[in-house]
Amino acid sequence: MPQEKVIVSGLFKIFGPNPDRAFKLIDAGKEKDAIFKETGLTVGVQDAEFSINAGEIFVVMGLSGSGKSTLVRMLNRLIEPTAGTVLIDGEDVTAMAPNHLRELRRHSMSMVFQSFALMPHLTVVQNAAFGLEISGINKAERQKRALDALDQVGLKDWARSYPRELSGGMQQRVGLARALAQDPSIMLMDEAFSALDPLIRSEMQDELLKLQDQHERTVVFISHDLHEAMRIGDRIAIMEGGRIVQVGTPDDILNNPADRYVSSFFRGVDPTTVFSVGDVARKSQLTLRWHKGEGFPTAALEQMRQEDRDYAYVLNRHQKFLGVVSSDTLDEAIERNERNLDGALLDNIEPVSAETPLQEILSEVRKYECPVPVINDEGQYMGVISKRTFLRTLEHGAQ
């Protein structure tokens, strides 16, 4: 039996004056929209009831407006609950005096934000040390712990930079380091990776999983992204209209969805709209380095024969994608006595951007004789999407 770290019961948040009016309507079985129409009160979270085990990644998933951000802010009382209790290690957070609550926020729970929320006037290391400074830890100690946290997220060399000088993904690593420096037992991550582009996002997910391997923390992760929830969640809670409609492992939820809302995440939603090209691209193909050297088409053909490939993807030395050659076009180029690969590149093969939704490349997948090449913003080769990969994604999502 795993140890229960956080126990939430009967938790409500109603925005607006005199929330009692809403409770009467909730008891009468009215829905969120009807209550708003009648009273002007917004039901943020309605009767949340769940527990989170120590050391697990607990994902709260839902569409925007489903109350997930409100829910997570009630765990550390950035938003004051209207009713209900939140027990953390057996202590009721909702009943804590302000100074006790501050101690909890300083030592046991830290938070990572969607907007990063870094202090623009502080350097990276000062940002990472921010929570420690608030707790009154002396300068030498907080410097050491902040650098240590930055080291964990691979940003030690940037300690003296300012946040604006970093990319989005790096800024969020600083946000992560700031949370880690506290050495909290609980981390609240509010859509922490949602503002990042898909490739960086999956990189950050890996980073989180890696950190979790080294040091098990209880992570409450808010997300609207099904793929992310399935990838990192030990258990997932699905929210709709302020209510938690199902809690379970990814498999549970996938195989036994509680209702049509839950199943719509998997069945009703076309998986090709959920995934982007970068999410499923694979580096399974042979790549060739372009250069001007003599006799290159012959060498390329020989390499392809050895690896038993019909196509090869040509890159420059900065990994930039240049085109695709096939064994046939190489044969012709050799007959024409050409000395580089330019003449052998297939016509009409345009690479697609990693951020494109999978659904938008259907015609390329159908049209191209070879797997569709995928590039990032800088034009670098990220892998390919073959017909087989495309179909497998469709099948997986439809299960």
Q: Which residues bind another protein (CB under 8 A)?
A: 76, 78, 102-107, 110-111, 113, 115, 117-121, 130-131, 133-135, 162, 164-165, 178, 182, 188
Q: In degrees rounded to 5, what are phi and psi of residue 80?
A: -80, 120
Please report how close the Cβ of residue 104 comes to another protein at its closest, in angstroms: 8
Q: Which is nearer to another protein, 196 or 304 (CB)?
A: 196
Choose between 182 and 285: whose C-beta lies nearer to another protein. Answer: 182
Contacting residues for 325 by C-beta, under 8 A, at least 6 apart: 288, 300, 311, 312, 314, 341, 344, 345, 346
To another protein, the closest distance from the beta carbon of 128 in angstroms equals 11
Shortest gap between Cβ of 215 and another protein (angstroms)?
Answer: 19
| Angle in degrees, 0-180, between the axes of helices 168-181 and 198-214, rounded to the nearest 10 | 20
Cβ nearer to another protein, comparing 83 with 117: 117
Q: How far apart are CA 117 and CA 238, in angstroms?
A: 26
- CB-wise, 188 or 208, nearer to another protein? 188
Alpha helices in 10-76 (DSSP H): 20-27, 32-39, 68-75
Backbone phi and psi for residue 242, each to the nearest 5 degrees, phi listed first: 90, -10
Comparison of 49 and 103: residue with beta carbon closer to another protein: 103
CB of 125 to another protein, least distance (A): 14
Minimum CB distance to another protein smaller for 130 or for 265: 130
* Cα three-residue angle 357-359-365, rounded to 5 degrees: 110
Are 374 and 290 in contact, with CB atoms under 8 Å apart?
no
Nearer to another protein, 106 or 289 (CB): 106
Neighbours of 292 (CB within 10 A): 9
CB of 205 to another protein, least distance (A): 22
The residue written with tokens 């991550």 in the block is 189
395 Cβ contact partners less than 8 Å away, ≥ 6 residues apart: none
CA-to-CA separations, 312 to 265, 274, 285, 326, 371, in angstroms, rounded: 37, 29, 7, 6, 10
- For residues 307 and 392, give the distance between their C-alpha atoms in angstroms, rounded to a whole number: 24
β-sheet bridge partners, residue 374: 352, 383
Which residue, 104 or 352, has its beta carbon nearer to another protein?
104
Q: How far is the CB of 76 from another protein (least distance, A)?
A: 6
- We find the least distance from the C-beta atom of residue 127 to another protein, in angstroms, to be 10
Q: How far is the CB of 145 from another protein (least distance, A)?
A: 14
